[in-house]
Structure 1
Amino acid sequence: MPLAVYILGLGIFTQGTSEFMLSGLLPNIAHDLGVSIPDAGLLISAFAIGMVFGAPLLAVATLSWPRRTALVTLQAVFIAAHVAGALAPGYGLLFATRVISALAYAGFWGVAVATAVALVPANAKGKAVAIVASGLTLATIVGVPAGTVLSQFAGWRAAFWAVAALTLLSLICSVLAISAGHGATEEPRTIRAELRAMARPQLWLSYALTAFTFGAVIVTFSYMASLLTDVTNLSEGWVPGLLALFGVGGLLGMSIGGKAAETYPIRTLVLGTGVLVAASVLLAVLAENTAVTIVLVFVLGFAGYITNPILQARVFGIAPGAPTLVGATNTSAFNVGNTLAPALGGIAISAGFGYASIAWVGAALGTVALFGALWAGHLQYRTLRTSSVVAKGTAQEEDRATTHA
């Protein structure tokens, strides 16, 4: 695997840390800037919405750029936004920096995945995508807890400075590792050609699968801390360790999913969503049982992320003529799930169903994803069967022609 693929994963790690670290910084930010916790929470929504719209917009805006230029530029904008955020005197400017950061990060995601896929042969694309995407899983295991601890000792602004410094390191590594011979120059790409390649119904089914599958796991993860303390009755000291356990499960799932993406993609997708639904139902019913809950936290991370490399790599196989835009739109699909699913969980909690209800929401979303995965498998089987019949018919005609000759 080329070193550049791991460097791209490093970029996702540094920026992904910023995506999720605010959950541990909200009290400090709210107190420092004189706003309520819900208002501070809007900073998370701003980032997610920026990711949804930023991925395709930035992919189109940088389509004609060499990929190394796009990657470095987007990281530079991300760094500048975090420096401005660390220095922000008020809530308004900080909110604006979160939107800008999300736009840059979303663009980086799309270009990074397209670059990784271009750097490896066809039988290694799933593994390359898994390595890049694992940067986000590492961010949840290492980056987010570290940012929370740093903010407790040095303030929330220190966490922003740390992310900016780490992203600068990633930028330097990108300049050194992604040379002209590593995909910095490619065949010319145009918006029209990429849009034409995206006009495939199966591609949009895959985007729906991405949104529902990721939403099914992220809705539970978003309220995991409250579920653990209020329903399972664990102390707050347990929360960081169990969130890290979730991340370990996710990392293992990503590793296995990366290997399965090229060999058994649909089977793994169906199995992963099936286990995700089962684990969500069990958590909803048995969340008061500490031992069972601990196991299910790991299983949710594993099942939720084993599908990630497949969902990332599959779109490139469906629409190979749009290597940048299909990946960027898939990033938007992930963030549609990341935005809407927690909102649905919040509605369930506000309706008085309790924190365990978020697992039922996850199970419902996962069930939709499961049926979608089965339908995708049916369509793939039908396509392969049709191709086989056509090929067989062509071979028979050639045999008859040879016989008559």
Structure 2
Amino acid sequence: MAPSTQLGGGGGQFGLLALALGGFGIGLTEFVIAGLLPQVSRGLDVSTAAAGWLISGYALTVAAGAIAVTAATAGRPQKPILVGLLALFVAGNLLCAIAPNYPTMLLGRVVAALCHGSFFGIGSLVARRLVPPERASRAVAMMFAGLTVANVLGVPFGALVGERWGWRATFWAITGIGSVALVAIAVLVPGWAGGTSGRADLRSQLRSFRSTQVWLTLTATALGYGGMFGAFSYLAYTFTEVTGFSATDVAWLLVVYGTGLVVGNIAGGRGADHNRDVTLLVSLTGLAATLTVFGLLASSRPASVILVFLLGAFGFATVPGMITRVTDAAGGVPLAASANVSASNVGNAVGAWLGGLAISAGWGYAAPLFVGAGIVGVGLGVMGWAARGSTDSARGGGGGAGGATGEAAEVQRS
């Protein structure tokens, strides 16, 4: 454990920036493909449906890989793991850049996805150690800032580079960003922040999942994400078929949504450090209300612009608090943080599936918004149940202090 004089110092801030850069690169890989699918489909001579597996295959690998990779690396120092994960990320994107055929391209996407969940899960624990305990959620938000900025820039970045130099150039660029992030983490993240936690062996980590609070938080995460991304998956159709925007308007509307993610991530981190459970309950309430009102006012252009921003803001405001909450409930083990990333991806898949069923049933392109509101409403109920049973809720939410203290105590006991 680092001396208190080191916590929050300049080295810690540089370490957080290095983690954020890694998150930015990984976020680009996740989001950029959406704007490149037509080019990739033509370049590799595959159908649009086959090209779509470059997105869904990535998401499924993230969900499974987050737990599998974290479990496989249990008991090892975390800084070298982060460096190794980024090496995997670079290799995957390099494969995509040079892929001579579709199977190689899909393999590259799977290899890159293997690092995603574990990087954010393990990285969130490392980020917490770089700051004083009362700033834990803000540190997590700082690391996720790279992901939110990538969401804003990913699709337009991929489309711009792809149009000018071809889709392979986009993956060469991401390979370069990943290489820089790898070096930055190796140099700037202090060794004491990336050491082995006190309960790093796999058996101890699995025992942490006996906690009801862990499962309640994971469930609330899946439902919150499922509601937001279930609606987000069909926003292009909502904007064009219900609101009346043109197809070319969708790009800047998604930038508005991405800007909401950035704002929500920052606000959620600050709020969670002040009162975590209240911040999560307010964010989920705001998200459910936004989805409901969006569904009612989807035909209004001005309202849709405001509401798509709020959708991103309330949706991502839950991220820092959920991660610190689940890791605190689990005693600071990496597997819990990675499981939170898996839960969010499972929620994404289920939410999109339910939204698609609503459209197929003939309920219209605004229906996923109402479906999402219902899913988030259930998540709000789960979060309320968790908050009532939480000991840190009785102390005012103590997102950062309580959790970091608990982890430190566990290290000392070990």
Q: Does 1:344 align with 2:361?
A: no
Residue 222 of structure 1 aligns to which amino acid in structure 2? S
Aligned mates of 2:276, 2:75 — CA distance in 1: 31
Which residue of 279, 291, 307 corresponds with 2:290? 279
Aligned mates of 1:383, 1:146 — CA distance in 2: 42
- Aligned-residue CA RMSD in angstroms? 1.8
CA offsets, 1:247-269, max 9 Å, x none? 11121111111011122212111
CA offsets, 1:296-347, max 9 Å, x none? 0111111111111111111122122x42111111111111112221122222
Residue 240 of structure 1 aligns to which amino acid in structure 2? A
1:359 is displaced (CA, Å) by 0.5
Aligned mates of 1:188, 1:285 — CA distance in 2: 49
CA contact (8 A) 1:178 1:184 kept: no
Residue 181 of structure 2 aligns to which amino acid in structure 1? S
Aligned residue for 1:380? 390
Residue identity over aligned pairs, in percent, reads: 35
Aligned residue for 2:247? 236
Which residue of 358, 363, 367 corresponds with 2:377? 367
Residue 152 of structure 2 aligns to which amino acid in structure 1? I
- SS of the residue 1:120 aligns to: coil
Q: Structure 2, unaligned stretches of length 5 or more? A: 1-7, 396-414
Residue 147 of structure 1 aligns to which amino acid in structure 2? G
1:227 is displaced (CA, Å) by 1.6
Residue 161 of structure 2 aligns to which amino acid in structure 1? L
CA contact (8 A) 1:4 1:182 kept: no
Aligned mates of 2:389, 2:220 — CA distance in 1: 14
1:137 is displaced (CA, Å) by 0.7
Q: Does 1:16 align with 2:27?
A: yes
CA offsets, 1:3-60, max 9 Å, x none? 2122111101111111111111111111222222122112111111101110111111
CA contact (8 A) 1:68 1:175 kept: yes
CA contact (8 A) 1:13 1:143 kept: no
| CA distance 1:316–1:29, shift in 2 (3 Å) | same
Which residue of 248, 256, 260 corresponds with 2:259? 248
- SS of the residue 1:353 aligns to: coil
| CA distance 1:236–1:251, shift in 2 (3 Å) | same
Aligned mates of 1:184, 1:377 — CA distance in 2: 31
- SS of the residue 1:65 aligns to: coil
CA contact (8 A) 2:66 2:338 kept: yes
Structure 2 counterparts to residues 289-368 of structure 1, below 5 A: 289-320=300-331, 322-368=332-378
Residue 375 of structure 2 aligns to which amino acid in structure 1? L
- SS of the residue 2:210 aligns to: coil
Aligned residue for 2:178? 167
Aligned residue for 1:120? 131
Aligned residue for 2:169? 158
Aligned residue for 2:47? 36
Aligned mates of 2:302, 2:181 — CA distance in 1: 39
| CA distance 1:276–1:185, shift in 2 (3 Å) | closer
CA contact (8 A) 1:13 1:136 kept: yes
Aligned mates of 2:338, 2:391 — CA distance in 1: 27
Aligned residue for 2:398? none
1:351 is displaced (CA, Å) by 2.7
Residue 50 of structure 1 aligns to which amino acid in structure 2? T
- SS of the residue 2:273 aligns to: coil
Residue 342 of structure 2 aligns to which amino acid in structure 1? S
1:383 is displaced (CA, Å) by 8.2
| CA distance 1:129–1:137, shift in 2 (3 Å) | same
Shifted more, 145-154 versus 162-171: the winner is 145-154
Aligned mates of 1:149, 1:344 — CA distance in 2: 33
Which residue of 78, 89, 102 corresponds with 2:89? 78
If the length of structure 1 is used for normalisation, what is the TM-score?
0.90
Which residue of 277, 290, 301 corresponds with 1:266? 277
Shifted more, 268-277 versus 112-121: the winner is 112-121
Residue 171 of structure 2 aligns to which amino acid in structure 1? F
Aligned mates of 1:384, 1:14 — CA distance in 2: 39
1:185 is displaced (CA, Å) by 5.6
CA contact (8 A) 2:91 2:111 kept: no
Aligned mates of 1:17, 1:144 — CA distance in 2: 8
Q: Structure 1, unaligned stretches of length 5 or more? A: 386-405
Shifted more, 176-185 versus 300-309: the winner is 176-185
Q: How many residues align?
A: 384
Aligned mates of 1:24, 1:226 — CA distance in 2: 16
CA contact (8 A) 2:94 2:108 kept: no
Shifted more, 259-268 versus 286-295: the winner is 259-268
Residue 352 of structure 1 aligns to which amino acid in structure 2? G
| CA distance 1:6–1:262, shift in 2 (3 Å) | same
CA offsets, 1:160-211, max 9 Å, x none? 1111111111011111102324334655721112112231011001000111
Aligned mates of 2:84, 2:279 — CA distance in 1: 36
Q: Does 1:103 align with 2:110?
A: no
1:292 is displaced (CA, Å) by 0.7
Q: Does 1:176 align with 2:187?
A: yes
CA contact (8 A) 1:20 1:140 kept: yes
Aligned mates of 1:65, 1:376 — CA distance in 2: 31
- Report which of the two structures shows the higher radius of gyration computed on alpha carbons: 1
- SS of the residue 1:262 aligns to: helix
Shifted more, 66-75 versus 173-182: the winner is 173-182
Q: Does 1:69 align with 2:80?
A: yes
If the length of structure 2 is used for normalisation, what is the TM-score?
0.88
CA contact (8 A) 2:327 2:334 kept: no
Aligned mates of 2:84, 2:194 — CA distance in 1: 16
- SS of the residue 1:266 aligns to: helix
